[in-house]
């Protein structure tokens, strides 16, 4: 009576059992990066794996196309790069009449665009992300000393993004998301979300709501914000300290790299400002007002309802 006692027969039995789960491998197509060594290779696709790419990070360049392309591709003492660069109209350094997507780094390789960025439980965002640099000549001036020993606010200028440029960003992002299912809506983020202490890009002019309407990234439902806003305005019992701590916890629950237990008031203000750049760009002041709280609660309800617990206070 035939048995599967030999190694070869055992392998064939295992392969036959796995074929319904790995049709591509069983058809002999293998993997794109299969070694080309002079030896036989059998491929059986494991179900116990995930995509390396988890995040999509948006940036603005602060420079024109020519300078941006140079900085992102040429060697320098402080090298930076990104997977894609998208130009804008009206830039004398851009020679083409039509806008095109420039790919600078293969998606399978690590580009140097996110720095020491943190999102969710990940601290090496460069290793797990695709970066898109968008030409926009936004710039900030350092604080000016208004009186001796007292510095003023940093002054920033944020030009509007080119409509055709944003259409190209949307087309590229949709193509990326179709290939990387682990980039969920809350994992489409800005540089300022992951590095709030020293980055503000893509800035308050970046149309996050427009992208979300096209199926890219997260946004809240207005009706939910209004509902939470009514609750919060009727609550006069919560102390400012509890509000700040609950808000910091909500930011961490959403994905921001803040530690609610150890964050100082300054830390919370910096992260609040980053949140506002993304979700309340018409008023970025780092203050936890009722509208900012309501927007965060609406986002948590939509994307992380399990994290809306009973410890946020009577109105939250």
Cα(269)–Cα(273) distance, integer angstroms: 6
The answer to the question of residue 23 being in a domain is no
CATH value at residue 177 = 3.40.80.10
Tell whether 114 is covered by a domain.
yes
**Same-domain status, 184 and 298:** no
- Residue-number span of the structural domain to which 85 is assigned: 55-213
Instruction: Choose the catalytic residue: 133, 153, 154, 266.
Output: 133
Same domain for 227 and 207: no
Structural domains in the chain (count): 2
Q: Are residues 185 and 76 in the same domain?
A: yes
Q: Are residues 242 and 95 in the same domain?
A: no
Contact 25, 45 (CB under 8 A): yes
| Same domain (yes/no): 273, 299 | yes
- Percent of the residues in the chain that have a pLDDT greater than 90, as a whole number: 70
Domain end residue (candidates: 194, 213, 232): 213
Residues 109 and 189 in one domain: yes
Domain stops at, among 213, 230, 265? 213
Note whether residue 47 is domain-resident.
Answer: no
DSSP for 164-204, please give it: HHHHHHHHHHHHHHHH-TT--GGGEEEHHHH-TTT--TT-T
Residues 195 and 302 in one domain: no
What pLDDT, on a 0 to 100 scale, did the predictor assign at position 295? 98
The verdict on residue 230 lying in a domain is: yes
Render pLDDT for 210-267 as a digit per residue (tens, 0 to 9).
Answer: 999 999 999 999 999 999 999 998 776 678 899 999 999 999 999 999 999 999 999 9
CATH of the domain at 283: 1.10.101.10
**Residue 133 annotated to the active site:** yes
> Is 104 among the domain residues?
yes
Q: Does 110 map to a domain?
A: yes
**Domain shared by 149 and 208, yes or no:** yes
The last residue of one of the domains, among 213, 236, 265, is 213
Looking at the fold, whether 147 and 275 belong to one and the same domain comes out as: no
Q: Which of 20-29, 144-153, 174-183, 204-213 has the lowest mean pLDDT?
A: 20-29
Domain contains 36: no
Q: What is the pTM of this model?
A: 0.84
Q: Identify whether residues 118 and 147 lie together within a single domain.
A: yes
Q: Give the C-alpha separation, 34 to 8, whole Å.
A: 22
> How is the chain split among helix, strand and coil, in percent rounded to 5?
40, 10, 50
Q: Give the separation between CA 69 and CA 120, rounded to whole angstroms.
A: 30
Helices (DSSP H) in the chain: which residue ranges? Answer: 7-18, 23-26, 65-73, 163-179, 191-194, 208-213, 222-233, 240-254, 265-279, 290-303
Give per-residue pLDDT as tens, 89-129: 999 999 999 999 999 999 999 999 998 899 999 998 999 99
All residues at 6 or more sequence positions from 44 whose CB lies less than 8 Å from its CB, including other chains: 15, 18, 22, 25, 26
Distance CA 151, CA 3 (A): 83
Residue 132 clears pLDDT 60, i.e. is over it: yes
Q: Are residues 269 and 128 in the same domain?
A: no
Same domain, 179 and 253: no
- Within-domain flag for 66: yes
């Amino acid at each position: 009576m035939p048995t599967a006692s030999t190694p070869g027969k055992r392998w064939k039995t295992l392969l036959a059992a796995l074929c319904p789960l790995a049709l591509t491998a069983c058809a002999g197509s293998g993997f794109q990066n299969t070694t080309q060594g002079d030896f036989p290779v059998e491929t059986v696709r494991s179900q116990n794996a995930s995509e390396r790419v988890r995040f999509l990070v948006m940036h603005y360049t602060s420079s024109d196309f020519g300078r941006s392309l140079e900085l992102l591709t040429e060697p320098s003492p402080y090298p930076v790069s990104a997977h894609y660069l998208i130009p804008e109209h009206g830039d004398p350094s851009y020679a083409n009449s039509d806008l095109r997507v420039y790919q600078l780094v293969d998606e399978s390789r690590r580009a140097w665009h996110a720095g020491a960025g943190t999102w969710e439980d990940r601290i090496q965002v460069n290793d797990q992300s695709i970066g898109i640099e968008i030409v926009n000549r936004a710039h900030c001036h350092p604080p000016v000393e208004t009186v001796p020993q007292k510095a003023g606010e940093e002054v920033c200028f944020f030009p509007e993004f080119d409509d055709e440029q944003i259409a190209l960003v949307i087309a590229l992002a949709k193509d990326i998301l179709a290939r990387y299912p682990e980039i969920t809506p809350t994992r489409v983020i800005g540089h300022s979300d992951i590095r709030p202490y020293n980055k503000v890009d893509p800035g308050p002019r970046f149309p996050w709501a427009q992208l979300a309407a096209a199926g890219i990234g997260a946004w809240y439902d207005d009706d939910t914000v209004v509902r939470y806003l009514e609750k919060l305005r009727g609550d006069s019992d919560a102390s400012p300290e509890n509000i700040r701590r609950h808000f910091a916890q909500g930011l961490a629950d959403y994905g921001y790299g803040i530690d609610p237990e150890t964050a100082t008031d300054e830390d919370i203000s910096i992260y609040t400002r980053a949140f506002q750049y993304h979700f309340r760009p018409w008023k970025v002041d780092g203050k936890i007002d009722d509208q900012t709280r309501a927007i965060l609660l609406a986002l948590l309800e939509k994307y992380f309802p399990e994290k809306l617990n009973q410890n946020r206070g009577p109105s939250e």
